[in-house]
Every structure is written in C-alpha cells, then in structure tokens.
Amino acid sequence: MKSSDVRAMTLDQLDDEVLKLKKEQFNLRFQRATGQLENTSRVRVIRRDIARMKTIAAQKRSGAEPAVKPETKSKAVKAPARSGRRKAATSSPPRAKARAIANKPNKSKK
C-alpha cells in the first residue's frame, strides 16, 4: 500500500488495518512453518506495510505529520566509474614500521 493512501486514513482506520495485517502475518508464519506458503515475498510486503502504517499513525498522533510529496518516478543514479588501481589494505603497517619490526633482534634465543 502506498504511503499517500495510508496518510489519507484516519487513526481508527490505521489501527484496524494494522490489526488485519498482523493477523495475515500470523497466518503467513504458520503457512511457512508447515511448508504451505507459496508466495514468500508476501511476508516481506506485510511486514513493511505494518511498519509504514505504525510510523504514519505515530506521526499523526504527535502532530508532526510531514507534508505529502508529489510522487514522481526517480531516475536511477549511475555510480561513478572505479579506476583499475586498488588502494592498499589499511590493516598492514607502514613500510618504515614493517622494516623496524623485521630488523629487530630476536631476544627469545638464549
């Protein structure tokens, strides 16, 4: 369900819808446990819908409801190209320190 649809609901409607979705989530859990669940993506959708509705209900209760943004299709942002050169690992000690460790006499021999 879109957040603009959820924002149009009253608090009572939101609470009823959350209760309905929780019951559906409960049933889906049992279907998954018994191996009868066919649409596994529904579990994720229900969980996110519940969270969305609870968030919007909390915003309405506190009076801090944000302005509704007009929905636009966002274009995918292309990641910058990576150069072929890799950076050195940060866990290795610097060269000078590595040389000092290598040249240190071993005191464990008697």
Domains of the chain: 3-62 (1.10.287.310)
Q: How confident is the model at residue 95 (pLDDT cuts 50, 70, 90)?
A: low
pTM over cut 0.85? no
Read off the pLDDT of residues 10-58 as tens digits, 9 standing for 90 and up.
999 999 999 999 999 999 999 999 999 999 999 999 999 999 999 999 9
Residue 90 CA to residue 80 CA, distance in Å, equals 23
Residue 52 is predicted with a pLDDT of 94
Written as six digits, the tokens of 98 are: 């590595």
φ/ψ of residue 6, rounded to 5: -70, -40
